[in-house]
Amino acid sequence: MKSILVIGIGRFGYHLSKKLSELGNQVMVVDEKEENLEELLPVVTSAKVGDCTNPKVLEGLGVRDFDAVFVCIGTNFQSSLEITSQVKEMGAKWVVSKATRDIHAKFLLRNGADEVVYPERDVALTMATKASANHVFDYIELTEEYGIYEIPPHEDWIGKTIKDVNFRAKYQISILGTKRPGAKEPSLLPPADHIFKADEHLMVIGEKDKVDELLKKIK
């Protein structure tokens, strides 16, 4: 369990705070509009109304006591930059800031952010990849070269083991997990004697070019 401060409760901040709380973390949320906090009151540890561009407001939050601080302000870059810089100067251990453009990310990283996230860009990339490629059920971009894909097994693999197919050596792609219909969670790191089944999905990681080559072979 970690203690986390989330500043700015728009759509991203709301969903982030809700999920962090569901995962058992102690979450404080702050926004200058009280109505933005109302739906989170039953699930978060605490909620405060305040303008975090005001140093006195930030000082009152005790930012150095949190394991992580998320700055989720996307509509006012100046405010996001000011808050990011101030929380880091006040001793925040780990600062994650939301960005909408690359130039914003560069300034945020130079002014206190330890990490920058692009929620809108990431969703757009995922949807574009799923829409453009056949047989991709889900996708997570790791870098410009690597990604994690959820794909079906090739018909030639059905009934064979991962070892029989010689999967890693043949495709230069690794299988992170398998997922059966109705299963809430995937089965991670399947053993070499795992037998491919027609109704399962595979979570694979690899270079995008290698995965694209494989997808062209899957009918």
Does residue 165 sit in the same domain as residue 65? Answer: no
- Structure confidence at residue 197 (pLDDT): 95
Q: Across the chain, what does the average pLDDT equal? A: 92
Question: Are both 67 and 160 inside the same structural domain?
Answer: no
Local confidence band at 1 (pLDDT 50, 70, 90 cut-offs): confident
Same domain for 18 and 111, yes or no, is yes
Q: What pLDDT is recorded for position 66?
A: 97
Torsion, Cα 114 119 120 125, to 10 degrees, reads: 100
Q: Which of 141-145, 186-190, 191-195, 205-209 has the lowest mean pLDDT?
A: 141-145
Residues 197, 110, single domain; the answer is no
13 closest CA partner among 29, 35, 33: 29
Q: How many Cβ atoms are within 10 Å of 167's Cβ, its own excluded? A: 23
Q: Give the pLDDT confidence of 98-107 residue by residue, as tens digits.
A: 998 888 989 9
Poorest-pLDDT segment among 10-24, 30-44, 96-110, 113-127? 113-127
In CATH, what number is assigned to the domain containing residue 205?
3.30.70.1450
Total structural domains within the chain:
2
Pair (13, 71) in one structural domain: yes
For the residues 32-46, what does the mean pLDDT come to? 95
In this prediction, residues 87-107 reach a mean pLDDT of: 93
Across residues 15-40, what is the average pLDDT? 95
CA distance 98 to 113: 9
Q: Are 111 and 129 contained in the same domain?
A: no
> Do 131 and 45 share a domain, yes or no?
no
75 and 34 housed in the same domain: yes
pLDDT at 201 over 70: yes
User: With helix as H, strand as E and coil as C, how does the chain read?
Assistant: CCEEEEECCCHHHHHHHHHHHHCCCEEEEEECCHHHCHHHCCCCCEEEECCCCCHHHHHHHCHHHCCEEEECCCCCHHHHHHHHHHHHHCCCCCEEEECCCHHHHHHHHHCCCCEEECHHHHHHHHHHHHHHCCCCCEEEECCCCEEEEEECCCHHHCCCEHHHHCHHHHHCCEEEEEECCCCCCCEECCCCCCECCCCCEEEEEEEHHHHHHHHHHCC
pLDDT digit string, tens, across residues 156-198: 999 999 999 999 999 999 999 999 888 878 899 999 999 999 9
Share of the chain above pLDDT 90, in %: 76
Asked whether the predicted pLDDT for residue 67 surpasses 80, the reply is yes
> Is there a single domain that holds both residue 128 and residue 108?
no
Q: Are residues 79 and 173 in the same domain?
A: no
Has residue 151 got a pLDDT over 90? Answer: yes
Number of Cβ within a 10 Å radius of residue 89 = 13
Residue 70's domain comprises 3-117
Whether residue 107 is found in the same domain as residue 8: yes
Compute the chain's Rg from CA coordinates. 21
> Of 98, 117, 136, which one is at a domain's C-terminal end?
117
- Find the mean pLDDT for residues 31-40: 95
Provide the pLDDT confidence category of residue 219 given band limits of 50, 70 and 90.
low
How high is the pLDDT of residue 74? 75
Q: Which of 99, 117, 135 is the last residue of a domain?
A: 117
Output the CA–CA distances (angstroms, integers) from residue 64 to 3, 7, 56, 206, 209, in the order listed: 11, 14, 14, 38, 43
Q: What are the tokens at 125? A: 């990339």
Let me know: does 2 contact 68? Beta carbons within 8 Å. Answer: yes
More confident residue, 127 or 159: 159
Mean pLDDT of 101-121: 90
pTM of the model: 0.69
Q: What is the CATH number of the domain that holds 82?
A: 3.40.50.720
How far apart, in whole angstroms, are the C-alpha atoms of residue 64 and residue 86? 11
d(CA 1, CA 176) in angstroms, rounded, equals 26
> Of 87, 117, 147, which marks where a domain is finished?
117
| Whether residues 97 and 77 fall in one domain | yes
Q: Is 109 exposed, middle or buried (0-12, 13-18, 19+ CB in 10 A)?
A: middle
